[in-house]
Amino acid sequence: MFQAALQGSLIGEPVRVEYNSDIYESYVTYKGHGSYGTATTVDLHGKVSKVPQRDKNFYRGPFYLESVIELKLPIETFKHIKDVLILNGTIEEKRVQVGILQYQIYVVM
């Protein structure tokens, strides 16, 4: 497990950044949070497979990625944006082949 947190203030508003990850046998999960004041936040979480194996100076093999990013803003135009990406692929020596399984963007105005 890896965890980190940073906080301070910038131009009078509190700033906070947090991150943690857990390593399992076949995948890694991650989660992060950031905020500026009380009205602006970003949250992210996901999962990455650890199937690619190191071969000399590069990795090779199949992989899988899930990623969700949510952004909340204190403006009327875009109050909430959520981005979801799920893909799988294969890494070879000088080539990456990717297949997008799901990609969605949600916007709340």
**Domain limits for position 47:** 2-108
- Number of Cβ within 10 Å of residue 91's Cβ equals 19
Q: Tell me how far apart the alpha carbons of residues 69 and 42 are, in angstroms, rounded to a whole number.
A: 7
Q: Tell me how far apart the alpha carbons of residues 27 and 93 are, in angstroms, rounded to a whole number.
A: 21
Q: Which residue has the tokens 């970003």?
A: 42
β 80-92/95-108 pair status:
antiparallel
Q: At 93, is the pLDDT very low, low, confident or very high (cuts 50, 70, 90)?
A: confident
Are 27 and 34 in contact by the 8 Å Cβ rule? The answer is no
Domain count within the chain: 1
- The stretch 11-28 carries a mean pLDDT of 87
| Cα atoms found within 13 Å of the Cα of residue 38, Cβ hemisphere only | 0
Q: At 109, is the pLDDT very low, low, confident or very high (cuts 50, 70, 90)?
A: confident
pLDDT for the residue 10: 60
